[in-house]
Every structure is written in structure tokens, then in C-alpha cells.
Amino acid sequence: EADIYQTPRYLVIGTGKKITLECSQTMGHDKMYWYQQDPGMELHLIHYSYGVNSTEKGDLSSESTVSRIRTEHFPLTLESARPSHTSQYLCASGRPGTGVEQFFGPGTRLTVL
Amino acid sequence: KNQVEQSPQSLIILEGKNCTLQCNYTVSPFSNLRWYKQDTGRGPVSLTIMTFSENTKSNGRYTATLDADTKQSSLHITASQLSDSASYICVVHYGNNRLAFGKGNQVVVIP
């Protein structure tokens, strides 16, 4: 079992609320990623980081933002949640030289009413 | 059109039977291909990695094949168990550290 954690696991909130999805890993990995996954669909990369103070946008445009102040921590923030943000958010980490194996957290299921 | 196509989209099999999942990709240049297993409500877990020079690799009851010339891979599950019920995701690493994900094969094993 990978040592990567996400909280909360499930979140139901109203439109307009600010939310932060937490992701932490204890493996010392430099690379961390956020994916968005809708039911029956592929994972879409929305943010990634190659180390502290490094953040980049992924392939899928997202209104969320991320920060990487510590190696082990990669939180994702939505300033004003909307129903279109309803989805599953998966955090992952990886290290160089592993053929880009990514270790995934359990995910956060977000529902915006 | 998705860069990684998986088939069948969903599959129901009897416990103890075998099944084969297909993954076709179009991206290049190819670096490697991974199969992940994603249980319901969980994150994906890597099952196997295939590099350009590898044709087949096994991990317990899971056997992956790769034909880099035709850009096809398969995942064979032998003697399926109820715990094999999951989504199996094909992920291709290509280019400058880019990843292309398939939508997954949804497998349901019934007793």
C-alpha cells in the first residue's frame, strides 16, 4: 500500500464555497500530481509539481490552484466551487528512474450542489 | 479520438475463467506502458510495466504483452477471482515525460 494520503475522502458543499483538498506523501517523492476523473472516463492531469516551489498546469484546464511549500504536501484549492467541479480528484506521487510509476492516493469524491 | 483506446469497455466473467483486455495507443515516441488496477473508490495501483524491448511480463495471475510495432498491449487475467473486479487502466509514457491514459476496462467477476 502506497504511503500517500488524501483528505477528505468525500466532500459535499454548496456553490461558492472555498475548499482545499489535502494530499500528503511520506515517500520523499519529488514529483506530485493532481488528476480529475469522472465515472467511466480517463484520468486528466490538472496540476503537477517536480519539487518544492514548482507547480505547473496539466493538460486539462482547471480553475483550481495548487501549492508546494513542502516536499510531502501538495494541496489543491478551489476558491469558489461550482457544480461543474463535481468529480473525483486523485493525487499521485513518483520519483525519477521508476519508469514514471505513480503512486496514487485513495481520491477525494467532491460534490458541489 | 483518445490517444489510448481500451476494449472491451466492460466485461462480466465467471469466477475461475480467464479474460484478456486490450489497449491500443497512437502516441509516440514510446517510452513504456503500464497497466494499473483501480478498485472502486480507490486510487490506481501499478500491476506491470512494459518497456520497448519486452514482449511479455507476468505478475502472478496477470500477464501483460506488448507489440510496440503495432502499438498494442494486452492484459490477461488467469483464473479470475472476485477480487479481480476493478477497472484496469492502460497508461502510456511517451515523449518528454508525458502520460496518456485510457478510460479503463471495467471487469466484474461473478461467482
| B72-77 β-sheet, strand order | B4-7, B19-25, B72-77, B62-67, B56-59
What is the predicted pLDDT for the residue at A102?
87
What is the predicted pLDDT for the residue at A4?
94
Mean of the pLDDT values across residues B16-21?
Answer: 97
Percent of chain A with pLDDT over 70: 94
Asked whether residue A113 carries a pLDDT value surpassing 90, the answer given is: yes
What is the predicted pLDDT for the residue at A66?
96
Cα A1 to chain center, whole Å?
18
Nearest-neighbour CA in chain A from B58: distance (Å): 17
Half-sphere exposure for A95 (CA within 13 Å, toward CB): 8
What is the residue whose three cell numbers read 520519483? A95
Asked whether residue A42 carries a pLDDT value surpassing 90, the answer given is: no
Among B9, B32, B106, whose Cβ lies nearest the Cβ of A99? B32
Give pLDDT tens digits for A67-85.
999 999 999 999 999 999 9
**H helices present in A1-113, as ranges:** none
Residue B58 grid cell? 507476468
Q: Do A42 and B2 touch (CB under 8 A)?
A: yes
Q: Do B49 and A99 touch (CB under 8 A)?
A: yes
Q: Which residue has the higher pLDDT, A60 or A51?
A: A51
Q: Residue B84 in 3-state DSSP?
A: helix
Residue B82 burial (C-beta neighbours within 10 Å; 0-12, 13-18, 19+): exposed
What is the predicted pLDDT for the residue at B2?
75
Any B CB within 8 A of A2 CB: yes
Residue A25 grid cell? 506523501
Q: Do B41 and A107 touch (CB under 8 A)?
A: yes
Percent of chain B with pLDDT over 70: 99
Q: Which residue has the higher pLDDT, A111 or A102?
A: A111
What is the predicted pLDDT for the residue at B98?
83
Asked whether residue A98 carries a pLDDT value surpassing 80, the answer given is: no
- Would you say A84 and A106 are in contact if contact means Cβ atoms under 8 Å apart? no
Mutate to test the interface with A, among B42, B48, B52 (most CBs of A within 10 A): B42
Any B CB within 8 A of A92 CB: yes
What is the predicted pLDDT for the residue at A41?
86
Residue A89 burial (C-beta neighbours within 10 Å; 0-12, 13-18, 19+): buried
Residue A35 grid cell? 488528476
Give the separation between CA B57 and CA A26, rounded to whole angstroms: 29
Which residues on chain B are in Cβ contact (under 8 Å) with A106? 41-43
What is the predicted pLDDT for the residue at A1?
54
Mean of the pLDDT values across residues A1-24?
Answer: 93
* A-B Cβ pairs (cutoff 8 Å, strict): 53
What is the predicted pLDDT for the residue at B96?
78
Nearest-neighbour CA in chain A from B82: distance (Å): 20
Give pLDDT tens digits for B57-104.
999 999 999 999 999 999 999 999 999 999 999 999 988 778 899 999
Region of A26 please: left (phi>0), alpha (psi -120 to 50) or beta: alpha
Q: The dihedral of CA A22, A28, A32, A37: what is its sign?
A: negative
